[in-house]
Chain A
Amino acid sequence: MTQKPIIQIENLTKIYGVGDIQVKALENVTMTVHEGEFVAIMGPSGSGKSTLMNILGCLDRPSEGKYRLAGEDVSEMDKIQLAIIRNQKIGFIFQSYNLLPRTTALENVMLPMVYNRGNDIPDDEQRQRALKALEQVGLAERVNHQPQELSGGQCQRVAIARALVNKPVLILADEPTGNLDTKSSVEIMSILTKLHEEGKTIVMVTHENDIASYSQRIIRFRDGQIDTDKPNGHKPMLQMKKEVDHELS
């Protein structure tokens, strides 16, 4: 591998609670994700994949171990520094979209730029960037719609645009198709595949094999530890993908 590492975690442990009720959600996890990889994280509930996502997303800090994001050690950062990292380096895609209600798609996508620190982007440029991101996910027609006026798939596409707008080094998708029907799921996965082809680094949690099959590499968790970590041998549901691509074009 010549690509530079984006995620480097070493001996990562996360313990919840104190004393007798201590729970080890993650134990001694070591893994590396390189630039441009599309990784699926799988595992039963309670296997520690959500905890890992929270730590990868800088929403939480490890109890022990190191986490380097694009070469920067974030495991010792304080709340404010972590917020800045989330803003600048990470794009989140959640199962339940997590868009601000009663706020237009455009404003939702502009939100990460509102919290930019140091480099205040002019309003005009913010708009242009947000419009471009919405175009990328095929929602140029719907920029002034509010989430309640959009379908689930469309909401998730707004969320993807929001994740992209600050040009993050890492896109984290937590069950991105969990609330969607098959057709919308395929749409979302084709967008993620396209982003992957453009060179974005994507880490996605899912428990559906079909969805995981879009990735290059699948890491399975069990009881807070990595069970298996291997390249994806399957091809995605090509037939369905073609149909959707046809419809989209």
Chain B
Amino acid sequence: MNSRKVIRIAWEGLNRNKLRSLLTMLGVIIGVAAVIIMVAVSAGTEATIAEQIQGLGTNLVFIQESFTRMTPGQRQTGNGLTFEDADAIKENIPGISGVVVEQNASETVKYGGQSIDDVSVLGTTIDFPEVRDMTIAEGRYFTQTELDRKSKVAVLGATLAEELFGSNTAIGQVITVGSVKLTVIGVMEEKGSTGGVDYNSNVFTPITVVFAKFNRDPFARMMGNRVRMIYVAVENEEDIEDTIYQIELLLAKRHEVTLDTLDFTVTTQDDIIETQESTTAAFRNLLGWVAGVSLLVGGIGIMNIMLVSVTERTREIGIRQSIGATPSDIRRQFLTEALLLSLVGGLIGVISGIAGAKIFGAVGDMRTVVSISSVIIAFSSAAAVGIFFGYFPANKAAQLDPIEALRHE
């Protein structure tokens, strides 16, 4: 008997009981669709995070204070990371296109009769627009001189400028931030939120102004000129490793520590992406396993129905045996039925999984990325489930005694 005939016989067998076949497939359909949707959701999350990190800028190196190198009883030495460290890096290390430090404050902004509470005031250095890939829409960013002189100037985010000034020009106007009057010298171009931060409602001002004038949280005030993070943009990607080493040497010397006892860490965007990925990968694997279990349950459903089917069709098996079907013919027939159930179920599952992922992405506030590998894995697991759980009932059918089977009512 050739395989075309086997498939035809199996297909006819399933066709004779359409509703049951469909219900049996449902387990596999849900399992396969669940695998694809769950992996798509976590892959979408992963892609969003990676994009956010990339969105911070290109070829970025992050320097952060670390307290992990301290041995018990030892006190934090030196001053930690300071604004001056950032200057030193900029002056001494070649091949970098910018160094940025940030200091945040939150203030009420007033102009004319308007007052907006809790506006984020971001003190930065002059390289900020370049390092963060931001462009000035109108006016200019502040200069090194203004930074050094703690000039009371401000650059506004696009949304904030719109809120305060509408269609009028903002340049040259004086706004009150907290209790300080700042002259607007520029407006940023609108930018999508990056790194989970929306810069469009920010006031940008020289970091020295923030240090001198604004209320910072008590911890920040205690820290003086210390900064939490220094961003360094490296000109060429291939120089990143070398630049990191030079930064470590320079800062180690300034902080009077050795390379083995650094009180700061230098990481790259790739490092952060990698860390994020390993977290989301664990999450994704968990989801994958949960979905895999539902696929397994679908397989047990197939076995269950195939066993019922074998019992119910004992007489049919007897008839086939009496006219010359061998045990392996019977086994193949029922195995093919189970396989067809799981393959057709798998196919419907793939289609509804992809459609489901797209719908989730479109309707829910969730990004989904359907991965080809999840489709392949889910579909082939469905096939494997069909063979695995179909074998036992098929073998049971093949072992039936023809005389008993023919006598079965």
* In the complex, residue of chain B having the shortest beta-carbon distance to the beta carbon of A85: B324
Q: Is the CB of A100 within 8 A of B319?
A: yes
0 or 1 for each of B297-334: is its CB under 8 Å from A? (1 = yes): 00000000000000000011011111111111100000
Binds A, one of B1-9, B39-47, B220-228: B1-9
Binds B, one of A2-10, A111-119, A196-204: A111-119
Q: Is the CB of A80 within 8 A of B326?
A: yes
Q: Is the CB of B12 within 8 A of A103?
A: yes
Q: Does B402 contact A (CB under 8 A)?
A: yes
Q: Is the CB of A111 within 8 A of B326?
A: no
Q: Tell me, in angstroms, the Cα distance from A88 to B16 when the chains sit together.
A: 28
Q: Is the CB of A114 within 8 A of B326?
A: no
Residues from chain B with Cβ under 8 Å of A88 in the complex: 324
Q: Tell me, in angstroms, the Cα distance from A115 to B5 when the chains sit together.
A: 10
Known contacts A79-B326, A83-B326, A84-B326, A111 near B403 by CB under 8 Å: no
Which of B12, B16, B323, B403 contacts A86 (CB under 8 A)? B323
* In the complex, residue of chain A having the shortest beta-carbon distance to the beta carbon of B12: A103
Q: Is the CB of B406 within 8 A of A94?
A: yes
Residues from chain B with Cβ under 8 Å of A60 in the complex: 403
Q: Is the CB of B329 within 8 A of A115?
A: yes
Q: A99-153: which have CB < 8 Å to B?
A: 99-103, 111-112, 114-117, 120
Q: Is the CB of A57 within 8 A of B322?
A: yes
Whole-angstrom distance between the Cβ of A144 and the nearest chain B Cβ: 15
* In the complex, residue of chain A having the shortest beta-carbon distance to the beta carbon of B405: A59
Known contacts A54-B403, A60-B403, A120-B2, A87 near B12 by CB under 8 Å: no
Q: Which of A98, A99, A102 is packed against the most chain B CB atoms within 10 Å? A: A98
Q: Is the CB of B319 within 8 A of A59?
A: no
0 or 1 for each of B380-407: is its CB under 8 Å from A? (1 = yes): 0000000000000000000000110010
Q: Tell me, in angstroms, the Cα distance from A102 to B321 when the chains sit together.
A: 18
Q: Does A92 contact B (CB under 8 A)?
A: yes
Q: Is the CB of A92 within 8 A of B323?
A: yes
Q: A6-30: which have CB < 8 Å to B?
A: none
Residues from chain B with Cβ under 8 Å of A100 in the complex: 316, 319
Q: B157-213: which have CB < 8 Å to A?
A: none
Whole-angstrom distance between the Cβ of B42 and the nearest chain A Cβ: 46
Known contacts A60-B403, A103-B12, A120-B2, A86 near B319 by CB under 8 Å: no
Q: Does A162 contact B (CB under 8 A)?
A: yes
Q: Is the CB of B1 within 8 A of A114?
A: yes
Residues from chain A with Cβ under 8 Å of B327 in the complex: 79-80, 83
Q: Is the CB of A86 within 8 A of B316?
A: no
Q: Is the CB of B324 within 8 A of A86?
A: yes
Residues from chain B with Cβ under 8 Å of A83 in the complex: 321, 324-327, 329
Whole-angstrom distance between the Cβ of A87 and the nearest chain B Cβ: 2
Residues from chain A with Cβ under 8 Å of B324 in the complex: 83-84, 86-88, 112, 115-116, 166
Q: Tell me, in angstroms, the Cα distance from A225 to B323 when the chains sit together.
A: 28
Known contacts A79-B327, A100-B316, A59 near B322 by CB under 8 Å: yes
Q: Tell me, in angstroms, the Cα distance from A30 to B377 when the chains sit together.
A: 63
Q: Tell me, in angstroms, the Cα distance from A102 to B9 when the chains sit together.
A: 13
Q: Is the CB of A111 within 8 A of B16?
A: no
Residues from chain A with Cβ under 8 Å of B319 in the complex: 98-100
Known contacts A87-B324, A111-B323, A114-B1, A59 near B9 by CB under 8 Å: no
Q: Tell me, in angstroms, the Cα distance from A79 to B328 when the chains sit together.
A: 10
* In the complex, residue of chain A having the shortest beta-carbon distance to the beta carbon of B321: A83
Q: Tell me, in angstroms, the Cα distance from A115 to B6 when the chains sit together.
A: 10
Q: Which of B2, B320, B323, B403 is packed against the most chain A CB atoms within 10 Å? A: B323
Residues from chain A with Cβ under 8 Å of B318 in the complex: 98
Whole-angstrom distance between the Cβ of B330 and the nearest chain A Cβ: 9
Whole-angstrom distance between the Cβ of B147 and the nearest chain A Cβ: 87
Q: Tell me, in angstroms, the Cα distance from A120 to B315 when the chains sit together.
A: 26
Residues from chain A with Cβ under 8 Å of B315 in the complex: 98
Q: Tell me, in angstroms, the Cα distance from A50 to B329 when the chains sit together.
A: 26
Residues from chain B with Cβ under 8 Å of A120 in the complex: 2
Residues from chain A with Cβ under 8 Å of B329 in the complex: 83, 115
Known contacts A54-B403, A59-B403, A80-B327, A111 near B322 by CB under 8 Å: no
14 contacts between A and B (CB under 8 A): A54-B403, A83-B326, A83-B329, A86-B321, A87-B324, A92-B323, A94-B406, A98-B322, A101-B16, A101-B316, A112-B324, A115-B324, A116-B324, A162-B323
- B residues apposed to A, CB below 8 Å: 1-2, 5, 9, 12, 16, 315-316, 318-329, 402-403, 406
Q: Apart from A83-B324, A112-B323, A116-B324, list 7 A-B contacts with CB within 8 A.
A: A59-B322, A80-B326, A88-B324, A94-B406, A100-B316, A115-B326, A120-B2
Give 9 nearest A-B pairs by CB, closest first: A87-B324, A83-B326, A115-B324, A112-B323, A59-B402, A80-B326, A98-B319, A86-B324, A115-B325
